[in-house]
Amino acid sequence: RAKSNGAASYEIFDAAMGAQALLQLEKQTDVRRAVERREFVVFYQPKVELSSGALHGFEALVRWAHPERGIVSPGEFIPLAEESDLIVRIGRFVLEESCRQAKVWRDRYGAHAPAVGVNLSARQFRDPNLARIVGAALEETGLDPNALLLEVTESAMMDDAESSGARLRELKALGVRIAIDDFGTGYSSLAYLQHFPLDMLKIDRSFVTELGRDPKGTAIIEAVSSLGHLLEMQVLAEGVETTDQLARLRDLGCELGQGYYWSRPLPQEEAEELIAKSFGTANGG
Ligand code: C2E
Ligand code: MG
Ligand code: MG
Ligand code: MG
């Protein structure tokens, strides 16, 4: 709020605020319209076993197929959608679409077909209807629950750690798997972490980027991956881009990776080609 500069500057400040609020509102309206027009699509990024290079699973990553702008990345609309119920609607679409796709792959390639990880934002994670929504998606698509991995960021989980435990157990009861995402960027309480029913720990890309640059970065990855294993989780490194990072991660005991080194997130047809290549031809259903 402008103080001593008088009425004129106060008005300018106020007008700027108004313009920004208006822009924000316009963007919200655009996203809402996109939801109604079903302009969102799901891309899939492979997760890979570091020892063998085998395809382990996919992470579903939403994109906005904008009629004029082309493919728009989630960084541009997820934070906006997160401010309202829009995120719940987008989230439900991604969940249903991913389950439907994972079911197709299961039917085609059997129980070893890649599982699919779906991101849940903080607001979705807090939604009291979440377990019902996930349960409905599984039921409607007929997907085996263990082929679905829900990715919840460390910060969303630790934000209200007290109620997160109950929420996670409610989800686990459906038979799905759960990953703690972007690990190392939030503030984990180890006391809680120990009691959360988690299946996978995803080490944030920022630590992987530091590998080989800073010896402390290496020590952190080694420590986090032992912590994950001690708590009986699979450990995945995010954002692997180089051969050197891959070699180091293997040495540090990480078993899974994801990153541009193998592949960017792929449109569904290209993800299918990748599965077909790694599984050979379909096993006849
Ligand atoms: P995330 O869940 O941590 O996803 C990983 C992000 O890292 C993705 O960005 C992916 O494309 C990017 N990435 C993967 N490998 C590399 C690499 O080697 N180098 C670099 N520089 N980046 C890499 P993307 O697709 O832009 O998604 C960003 C974030 O948006 C996601 O972070 C997730 O938090 C959110 N998001 C994406 N899809 C959804 C969704 O369906 N629902 C919700 N709630 N959030 C989503
Ligand atoms: Mg994720
Ligand atoms: Mg992540
Ligand atoms: Mg991340």
If we measure between CA atoms, which residue out of 60, 116, 47, 62 comes closest to residue 278?
47
Q: Is 76 helix (H, G, I), strand (E, B) or coil?
A: helix
Q: What is the dihedral of CA 221, 224, 225, 229, to 10 degrees?
A: 180
**Do the beta carbons of residue 89 and residue 35 sit within 8 Å?**
yes
End-to-end CA distance of the chain: 66
119 Cα: distance to centroid of ligand 2 (angstroms): 5
181 Cα: distance to centroid of ligand 3 (angstroms): 5
Residue 188 has pLDDT above 50, yes or no: yes
Closest approach atom of ligand 1 to CA 73: 26
| Confidence at residue 285, expressed as pLDDT on a 0 to 100 scale | 41
Alpha-carbon distance of 185 to 208, in angstroms, equals: 12
**Do the beta carbons of residue 170 and residue 208 sit within 8 Å?**
no
- Per-residue pLDDT, averaged over 264-269, amounts to 98
CA-nearest residue for atom 46, ligand 1, is 119
**Do the beta carbons of residue 126 and residue 158 sit within 8 Å?**
no
Alpha-carbon distance of 43 to 282, in angstroms, equals: 22
| 35 burial level (CB within 10 Å; 0-12, 13-18, 19+) | buried
Looking at residue 160, its amino acid is: D
Q: Is 46 helix (H, G, I), strand (E, B) or coil?
A: strand
- Give the pLDDT band (50/70/90) at residue 10: low
DSSP 169-232: HHHHTTT-EEEEEEETSS---HHHHTTS--SEEEE-HHHHHHTTT-HHHHHHHHHHHHHHHHTT
Around Cβ 260, how many Cβ atoms within 10 Å? 12
- Per-residue pLDDT, averaged over 184-209, amounts to 93
The residues that bridge with 180 in the sheet, in sequence order, are 152, 201
Residue 4 has pLDDT above 90, yes or no: no
| Confidence at residue 255, expressed as pLDDT on a 0 to 100 scale | 97
Residue 237, both tokens: 């490194």
Residues whose Cβ atom is located within 5 A of ion ligand 2 = 119, 151, 181
60 Cα: distance to centroid of ligand 2 (angstroms): 8
Conformational region of residue 142, where left means phi above 0, alpha means psi within -120 to 50, and beta covers everything else: left
CA-nearest residue for atom 2, ligand 1, is 119
- Per-residue pLDDT, averaged over 160-170, amounts to 94
Residue 103 has pLDDT above 90, yes or no: yes
The share of the chain scoring above pLDDT 90, in percent, equals: 81
30 Cα: distance to centroid of ligand 3 (angstroms): 26
Alpha-carbon distance of 91 to 85, in angstroms, equals: 10
Alpha-carbon distance of 144 to 126, in angstroms, equals: 24
Residue 280 has pLDDT above 50, yes or no: yes
194 Cα: distance to centroid of ligand 2 (angstroms): 21
Q: Which residues line ligand 1 (CB under 6 A)?
A: 45, 61-62, 73-75, 78, 91, 94, 119-121, 124, 151, 181-182, 205, 239-241, 258-260, 265
Ligand nearest to the CA of 78: 1
| Confidence at residue 41, expressed as pLDDT on a 0 to 100 scale | 98
CA-nearest residue for atom 12, ligand 1, is 239
103 Cα: distance to centroid of ligand 2 (angstroms): 20
**Which of the listed ranges 76-90, 169-183, 215-229 does the model predict with the highest average pLDDT?**
169-183
Looking at residue 265, its amino acid is: P
**Do the beta carbons of residue 262 and residue 48 sit within 8 Å?**
yes
User: Reduced to 3 DSSP states, what percent helix, strand and coil does the chain have, rounded to the nearest 5?
Assistant: 55, 20, 30
